[in-house]
Structure 1
Amino acid sequence: MYTERLLRVVAVAAITSSVLSNPIPLTREPIENIPRGLPLVTDEVLLFDAPAFRTGEGNELTASIRMFTHIRQIDSSIISGALTTAIEALGIEVGNKAGNLFERTKLFFAIPRSGIEVDLNVAGCDSFNVGDTSKGGLLERNAAIGACGGALSPRTISGVAPGFFSSRPFEATLFPSHPNGFGVVSDVDDTIKVSNVLDKKQAVKSLFIDDHEAVGGMPELYSQLDGELGNPAWFYLTGSPYQLYPSLRKFIFEKYPKGPMIVQNLTLTDVQSILKFVLDDNNVRDYKIAQMEKLRSFYPQKKFLTIGDSTQADPEVYAEIARRHPDFIQCIWIRKVNEADNSDERFATAFKGVPQAKWKVFTEPSELAELDVATGKCN
């Protein structure tokens, strides 16, 4: 999806101008001499939407909390201009979309804050504290939140960071779910969002510049599934790094049933790691398999419909999980993308050992309209 040249050019442009976007001098490493503990007035907290699941025999819930803490960034037209110049030097027209470019790239160059803990409140549930963030400013941790009155409806997770004149709130959505019933795991790029991952230049435009565009017919299909499966638990599993989370979340919440998005914990302090994990299908495969296993640990009794596309490793990922846990995967749908490897040989190899009745490769979402996932009619 990304090219090394693009990443290096954008990195240089942002780094050279970021002294104007941050309240302290830039370094490529976390700031070590600032006190740790609760956030400071110079800190920003990005809290991710979280799934929640029941633990034990009672109604007690556990939330899977993820967050990123970094030095607060101040918007600057100079940064936007530098990034625009860098992208246009590659022959990609930015036009009036410089705002998209700036918003989608700025977190790549945020200065992480390690050792940060926060107090969080979930509406109607127990409050709790989580910490410490890693050297990269990231935290992923399960937290007990009580029974929440027995209700499993979405609710707000919130906290505050200190400000110069008043506290600055941050929040996300908690999505509790029954231990049984149905769930849907959906890929994002070229499954529900036009990303052009097989065309490097168009992929860059889709990623950083163009307004996000839904794949034709997919919002309608997902709305139909949401009703037919009785409001299932939705999860969006993407190989994209967490720096793209804000714009992707906005797009998904506007077009599709709401649910937590699972993104990779990658930072631009190590360019080679980004290239390794984002461009290498094997690493995307391993990452997605690990996340699917984690979901199963949260919801071992649920049955899942998994939806992906043929550009990267979705067929191989979902098939591997189906072989490991046949009762966990109800159906697998793979969208056939032009210019990808859509050969019969690929799918035969990928789905070896998976009953043919469980999986379907499709071109148009309308091909799925008459299927009944709830009864196992997958193709």
Structure 2
Amino acid sequence: MALQSAAATAGRVEQLFEETEQEHITRENSNFSAFEADMPKLANRFNFSWKDNISSYLGRKNPFFDYVNPETDYVWILDTTAYRNRIGRWHAEFVAAYFVKNSGKDLSQIVAWVSEKIGLADDEQARATVAKRLQPFADQILPAHAVDIDLLGLNARLGPSGRDGISSDVLAIPGNDYKDGQVMSFKAVNAEATPFNITFAKSKGYAILSDVDDTIKKTLTSSPVGILKTTFAEEPEPIKGMPELYKHVNQKLNEPVFFYLSASPYNLYPFLRNFRQQYYPNGSMILRDASWMNLAGLLANLTQGTEHYKVDRIEKIHDWFPKRKFIFIGDSTQTDPESYGEAYRKFGKWIGAIYIRKVTGVAEMDDGQKNNPERFEKAFKDVPRDVWYVFEDAQELYAKIDALPEIK
């Protein structure tokens, strides 16, 4: 997996990608830079051994790695989707994030800061929720480590992790007799790690690529305070009508494979996975591979480099499923129109439809620029007009989904 992240140092976020026009509008209108500069710095998450520090640059070829210790370490293994390669064998990309247990011990300062910024009442239970969700941003990451998984009776190694405490491995899956849409659960070996699912998807049929933040989940990505409130304090809230729409899509298109592509960092994986399980069809959650040493990185992830990141991930999905017919669903707060338009210009009729939710009535969002018809015309230049559609109410899409041609 090509790693794309911004480094956060001394309370300042450094861009690795030039800000796009839409990102500049968002960040300037809500003064993200000043807000990020004021955010307290978390404990040093890069306080690992000299050996791990140096050898982490070697990636998977690192001969000096260690296996995770179940007593001191924990691993998140992300759900994945298996695909057939050119010779018909099943493969999948396995992504894992490695941490040292309870290493971010003193969260009181950052909890107090977040609580003050979002106007949280002096409620012990509410602050405990903030602390729990902040923990993955504070725990020390773990480079140069690996974990074994039980892959249908065979031990397969994931990792070792790179400098960001993340590993990505494409592995062959034993066996061949899997049904389209079949979901199987797997576990790690001798490690404290999240169980994970593999969804098997054959080469043909429909597929859905959905944005998460402000498309299916209220995140308020146009506001730094809104991001903090919806991420750390509030119960995650689905966008009105979208769970019902996705249920209809799942039924009407014969259980298509789902990919949920978010600009959020992997630190939010359990939070977002639980939300998806509660409201939306099964599918792989694709998040940005960055483990931040500063909370400002969360805001940067959601507002900088998103177009480049999403197009890169879409290209990877295309490599896995070039014969699937994809439906893209996003919103107008970030760069979904620009990302999806660029993807169509690259891959053409591989994308059967693009639906963009027009977000309105959000504080600190410049509706006039974000929802300007000229913006959409520019983003979807050379994309046929009958392919893309901007909607405000999920009900508008039922007839369009029903009219999609059947794939045999």
Fold shared, TM-score > 0.5 on shorter chain? yes
Distance, in Å, in 2 between the alignment partners of 1:86 and 1:62 is 45
Supply the distance in 1 between the matched residues of 2:266 and 2:359 (Cα, whole angstroms): 25
Summarize the alignment of residues 86-235 of structure 1 with structure 2, pairs less than 5 Å apart.
Answer: 86-90=113-117, 92-93=119-120, 95=123, 96-122=125-151, 124=152, 126-152=154-180, 153-162=182-191, 168=192, 170-235=194-259
Deviations 1:74-132 (A, max 9, x none): 796x63x443312233352154422331222211122122221221123x475422221
Q: 1:30 to 1:135 in 2, by over 3 A?
A: farther
Q: Which structure exhibits the higher relative contact order, with contacts defined as CA atoms closer than 8 Å and separated by 6 or more residues? A: 2
- Name the CA distance, whole Å, in 2 between partners of 1:323 and 1:169: 40
C-alpha contact 1:105 1:244 (8 A) present in aligned 2: no
The aligned counterpart of 2:401 is 372
1:350 match: 379
Q: Which residue of 2 aligns with 1:320?
A: 342
**Which residue in the other structure is 1:337 paired with?**
359
Q: 1:42 aligns with which of 68, 72, 77?
A: 72
CA deviation vs aligned residue, 1:153-194 (integer Å, no higher than 9, x gap): 1111210345xxxxx453111112111101000001110011
Alpha-carbon separation, structure 2, partners of 1:74 and 1:272? 19
Asked if structure 2 preserves the Cα contact closer than 8 Å seen for 1:125 and 1:149, the reply is: no
Q: What is the match of residue 297 of structure 1?
A: 319
Alignment-derived partner of residue 32 in structure 1: 50
Give the total of aligned pairs. Answer: 355
Q: Which runs of 5+ in 2 are unaligned?
A: 1-25, 53-63
For 1:249, which of 273, 276, 279 is the aligned residue? 273
TM-score, scaled relative to structure 1: 0.86
Alignment partners' CA distance in 2, 1:54 and 1:367: 35
TM-fit CA distance, 1:27: 5.4
For the structure 1 residues 204 and 91, does the alpha-carbon distance in structure 2 shift closer, same or farther, using more than 3 Å as the test? closer
**Do 2:217 and 2:239's aligned partners in 1 also have CA atoms closer than 8 Å?**
yes
1:274-289 matches, cutoff 5 A: 276-280=300-304, 283-289=305-311
SS at match of 1:149: coil
Secondary structure at 1:207 match in 2: helix
Q: Confirm or deny: 8 A CA contact 1:229 1:374 kept in the other structure.
A: no
| Partner AA of 1:71 in structure 2 | V
Paired residue type of 1:131: G
* TM norm structure 2: 0.80
Q: Give the whole-Å Cα distance in 1 for the aligned partners of 2:129 and 2:282.
A: 22
- Cα distance in 2 for partners of 1:274, 1:85 equals 18
What per-residue deviation string (whole Å, max 9, x for no partner) do you get for residues 317-360 of structure 1?
A: 11111111112100000000014311110111111100111111
Compared CA separation, residues 369 and 156, structure 1 to 2 (3 A): same
| Equivalent position of 1:63 in the other structure | 92
- Code of the residue aligned with 1:30 in structure 2: it is F
Distance in 2 between residues matched to 1:218 and 1:272, nearest whole Å? 29
- Which whole-Å CA distance do the structure 1 matches of 2:45 and 2:257 have between them? 41
The CA distance in 1 between the partners of 2:403 and 2:169, in whole Å, is 32
Give % identity: 27
CA distance in 1: counterparts of 2:356 and 2:275, whole angstroms: 21
Is the Cα–Cα contact under 8 Å of residues 101 and 209 in structure 1 kept in the other structure? Answer: yes
Q: Identify if the C-alpha distance between structure 1 residues 105 and 5 changes in structure 2 by more than 3 Å, giving closer, same or farther.
A: farther
